């Protein structure tokens, strides 16, 4: 079981979502192993993991699209385990946006409000707010095929926001976009969430995206929660070999019965004859990565690869084939449990 307490600034916050020993199986196969979780009001929580790890299944259980095999789900203090999606006060934004192609942007955004038979005046007020928040005011009369992928993503979010949900669930909403647009919309999403104060539960397989957006991250692997924590905690103190390997680049060392990781920025290269080197090796490759150089060292005699980062202006004349020593500080070692 994994059970979490929510703290911001040392003050416990009221949870908006509570999962109690939730588990999901399909045809006898476990998709999500039992675990418990609390998500605070106004929190940006990201569920991160590789394809098939159970993260979308978890999101669908919160949304009401999948029923847990066992366990309970509470939203806003109300038990919703048996309730259908439309009675949960949550909205789900899909990866493919699921817009109606025959409707204009305005009609797409109004759709949910019309189904709820909200008064026209209230519909207009909510529509105006959503269009302004998502910067779509000038596009409301266009159809989905007439706008870009990034704008379609904003329409999907606007359609969800007009229903004023307590929780917005987002299933890899940026996955189909190109890199530059994805990065731009990441910033917009975070700013939007901060302005609205709505709880976001966000699913992604992109580690960089999770680190950039989240207050907390739940790392999943093969249906199990490997670790939960802030981006800083996940990066600096990975709890398992999987997390150490999956989040960013890392060096994993095994010595006798010890397994530990050292981040590349903490790997120091010395002269090959330096007495304080922990390992000796040869530079196998140097990769230019903007302000950084990624330097790969083939160590002797264990024939393993070690990655070190250096600023471009501090390369010190290293070339492929250079003989170097490899070392790090004891405090930069992170012991890995499994």
In-domain check, residue 291? yes
Total number of domains constituting the chain = 2
Say whether both 235 and 286 belong to one domain.
Answer: no
Distances (CA, A) of 142 to 108, 159, 325: 11, 15, 62
Q: What letter does residue 236 receive in the DSSP assignment?
A: H
Say whether both 233 and 292 belong to one domain.
Answer: no
In-domain check, residue 231? yes
Say whether both 66 and 128 belong to one domain.
Answer: yes
In-domain check, residue 252? no
Last residue of a domain, one of 188, 210, 242: 242
Say whether both 281 and 322 belong to one domain.
Answer: yes
Residue of 315, 327, 214, 336 lying closest to 272 (CA atoms)? 327
Distance between CA atoms of residues 80 and 289, nearest Å: 48
Query: Is 158 in a helix, a strand, or coil?
Result: helix
Say whether both 130 and 272 belong to one domain.
Answer: no
Say whether both 170 and 102 belong to one domain.
Answer: yes
In-domain check, residue 256? no
The pLDDT assigned to 338 comes to 60
The pLDDT assigned to 4 comes to 46
Say whether both 208 and 321 belong to one domain.
Answer: no
Around Cβ 75, how many Cβ atoms within 10 Å?
A: 23
pTM of the model: 0.87
In-domain check, residue 173? yes
Contact between 28 and 198 under an 8 Å Cβ cutoff? The reply is: no
In-domain check, residue 158? yes
What CATH number is given to the structural domain containing 280? 2.40.50.140
Phi-psi group of 18: left, alpha or beta (phi > 0 → left; psi -120 to 50 → alpha; rest → beta): beta
In-domain check, residue 333? no
The pLDDT assigned to 95 comes to 78
Bridge-partner residues for 300, per DSSP?
A: 280
The pLDDT assigned to 12 comes to 44
Chain Cα centroid distance, residue 109 = 26
Say whether both 237 and 274 belong to one domain.
Answer: no
Distance between CA atoms of residues 217 and 29, nearest Å: 25
What CATH number is given to the structural domain containing 65? 3.40.50.300
Say whether both 92 and 237 belong to one domain.
Answer: yes
Say whether both 61 and 187 belong to one domain.
Answer: yes
Give the pLDDT means over successive 10-residue stretches in the chain (338 positions): 45 81 95 95 96 94 96 95 92 85 94 91 93 89 92 89 91 84 85 90 94 96 96 94 94 90 94 80 92 93 93 76 93 87
Say whether both 24 and 167 belong to one domain.
Answer: yes
In-domain check, residue 2? no
> Which residue range is the domain that position 222 belongs to?
7-242
Say whether both 191 and 279 belong to one domain.
Answer: no
């Amino acid at each position: 079981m994994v059970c979490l307490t929510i703290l911001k600034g040392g003050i416990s916050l009221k949870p908006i979502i509570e999962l109690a020993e939730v588990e999901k199986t399909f045809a006898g196969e476990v998709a999500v192993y039992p675990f418990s979780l609390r998500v605070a009001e106004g929190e940006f929580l990201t569920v991160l993991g590789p394809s098939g790890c159970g993260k979308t299944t978890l999101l669908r259980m919160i949304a009401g699209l999948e029923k847990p095999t066992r366990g309970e789900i509470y939203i806003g203090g109300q038990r919703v385990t048996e309730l259908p999606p439309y009675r949960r006060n949550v909205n789900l934004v899909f990866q493919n946006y699921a817009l109606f192609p025959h409707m204009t942007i305005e009609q797409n955004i109004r759709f949910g409000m019309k189904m709820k038979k909200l008064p026209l005046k209230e519909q207009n007020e909510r529509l105006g707010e959503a269009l302004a928040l998502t910067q779509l005011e000038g596009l409301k009369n266009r159809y989905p095929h007439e706008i870009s992928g990034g704008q379609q993503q904003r329409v999907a979010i606007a359609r969800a926001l007009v229903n004023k949900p307590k929780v917005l669930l987002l299933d890899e909403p940026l996955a189909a976009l190109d890199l530059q647009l994805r990065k731009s919309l990441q910033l917009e999403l975070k700013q939007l969430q901060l302005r609205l104060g709505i709880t976001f539960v966000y699913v992604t397989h992109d580690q960089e995206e999770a680190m950039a957006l989240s207050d907390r991250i739940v790392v999943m692997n093969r249906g199990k929660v490997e670790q939960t924590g802030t981006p800083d905690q996940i990066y600096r103190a990975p709890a398992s070999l999987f997390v150490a390997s999956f989040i960013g680049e890392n060096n994993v060392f095994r010595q006798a019965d010890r397994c530990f990781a050292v981040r590349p920025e903490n790997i120091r290269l010395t002269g090959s004859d330096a007495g304080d080197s922990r390992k000796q090796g040869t530079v196998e490759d140097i990769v230019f990565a903007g302000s950084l150089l990624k330097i790969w060292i083939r160590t002797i005699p264990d024939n393993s690869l070690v990655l070190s980062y250096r600023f471009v202006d501090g390369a010190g004349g290293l070339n492929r084939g250079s003989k170097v020593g490899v070392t790090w500080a004891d405090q930069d070692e992170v012991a890995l449990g499994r």
